[in-house]
Amino acid sequence: MLKPFEVHVQARSLECFQPELTGAEWAALQASAAQARDRLAGHTFWNVNSTARGGGVAELLPRMLAYARGAGVDTRWMVVEGTPAFFRITKRLHHALHGSRGDDSPLGPAERACYDEVLRDNAEELLVLVRPGDVVLLHDPQTAGLAPTLAAAGARVVWRCHIGCDTLEEEVVRAWAFLAPGLAAVRLAVFSRAAYVPPLLADRSVVIPPSIDIFAVKNQPMAPQVASAILGHTGLVALAPDAPDPVFIRTDGVPARVSRGADIIRLGSAPAPGAPLVVQVSRWDPLKDPVGVLRGFALLLRESPGLRADLVLAGPSVTSVADDPEAAATIENVTAVWREQPRFLRQRVHLASLPMVDLEENAAIVNALQRHATVVVQKSLREGFGLTVTEAMWKSRPVVASAVGGLQDQVRNEVDGLLVRDPEDLPAFAACVRRLLEEPVLAARLGAQAHEHVRVRFTAVRHLSDLVALLEELDARAERSD
């Protein structure tokens, strides 16, 4: 019998935002908090997804939950349990919603039966917890099928889709057909951009882009020497002789050290602490196109062997992300392509699996890597919304991203980063990376503007107020239908 489990999140006060906001913004945030308490009085705001670690949703949820709880709203997080067959189907749906065929496996009656059965099991436990009038926010295709059962129990069910495709391609239509029975029961759907809203949800969708938490371990301030020391201790760069301690501050305010190493595939030694790094941090997923990044970088170095730069492709250690069955095959594939490269390239390209045993330690390593990077890239073939890009932009890094999906809303080309129009265009990608490596003034200007853009559009403050507006919309719709 499969059962969801709860992830407990400590409340975090909104007070930390006060110094970052104007008086009016701070008052608006407090008014939003009061409104949320009011609208949810006596009810719980549930979030249900399918993994507690790895990937954007698992990054976003605990941060938003912590602030909601800090604002006095009873918010809880449940993670459904699945079988390997279930996660294969949901990964297939994930690809299809991005317009991609994934492993091309069928999405027929057998898959539907497996999907429904896993969610039926999970629903049993949820029904013990969820009370009539509670709001349940289901995340992504893995949980959409829970909607009818929870709605029948009197919950106000909202489905949030973190992925999407700008055009209604054949695969996308197939995914929507699979998900339609579940989605018939949702009152509202949330998408990261308007172009993702499918016809079947056109009358009940809102757009809320994700956000980053600027106070998370992942984004907390870090001196350049400390970033370098953390990377030195994990083996990602050579450790400088005078390096300070590799320390970060945990969410509870207690200092900690990074002590675990990354699992790295490279030829020869680690890059020197001062060597410019081109970095992509992502789950090991073919849609993040790590092979394309490697090939684009190889092209760049073949054209300019004298260019000083190393490439780091980093992702979570492969066994760690529960709902992502493709990670091992993806890293094997990248490694195979790496092995085909000439020796000088294998010395300059580093494939790193980051330790995930302690998620805050992992976040500190990602933080250090993004801050230490000379250029951060996200060469995704598809992307719902790329948190890694917003994280890097917050750190004033110049980014090169593909002009796909949500990345187009996150990066304004030539204003706060560079966009590559065709994600498969390796020469264009290589040219953008080269520009940022060779033009430090441009890189600094884009980085500074990137930080400001994130501050205004993509922090938790904006996101929390959007979620309060969502509650308002739910109530308004309920009144209209009464």
Site residues for ligand UDP per CB under 6 A: 55-56, 59, 218, 281, 283, 314-316, 354, 362-363, 366, 385-388, 391
CB nearer ligand UDP, residue 56 or residue 141: 56
- Closest approach of ligand UDP to the CB of residue 56, in Å: 2
Dist CA 444 CA 447 (whole Å):
5
CB nearer ligand UDP, residue 187 or residue 266: 266
- Closest approach of ligand UDP to the CB of residue 314, in Å: 6
Dist CA 211 CA 428 (whole Å):
28
Instruction: Work out the burial of residue 67: count CB atoms within 10 Å of its CB; fewer than 13 is exposed, 13-18 middle, 19 or more buried.
Output: buried
User: What's the token pair of residue 439?
Assistant: 């033009």
- Closest approach of ligand UDP to the CB of residue 365, in Å: 8
User: Closest-CB residue for ligand UDP?
Assistant: 56
- Closest approach of ligand UDP to the CB of residue 435, in Å: 23
Residue whose tokens read 């941090």: 281
Dist CA 350 CA 362 (whole Å):
17
Nearest to 310 by CA among 282, 340, 356, 268: 268
Given a contact cutoff of 8 angstroms between Cβ atoms, the answer to whether 92 and 327 are in contact is no
Residue 330 has a CB neighbour count (10 Å cut-off) of: 22
CB nearer ligand UDP, residue 279 or residue 428: 279
- Closest approach of ligand UDP to the CB of residue 10, in Å: 19
Dist CA 313 CA 293 (whole Å):
8
CB nearer ligand UDP, residue 36 or residue 278: 278
3-state class of 353 per DSSP? strand
Dist CA 283 CA 305 (whole Å):
29
Dist CA 401 CA 379 (whole Å):
5
CB nearer ligand UDP, residue 187 or residue 260: 260
CB nearer ligand UDP, residue 33 or residue 467: 467
- Closest approach of ligand UDP to the CB of residue 220, in Å: 13
- Closest approach of ligand UDP to the CB of residue 229, in Å: 19
Residue 273 is classified by DSSP as T
CB nearer ligand UDP, residue 232 or residue 316: 316
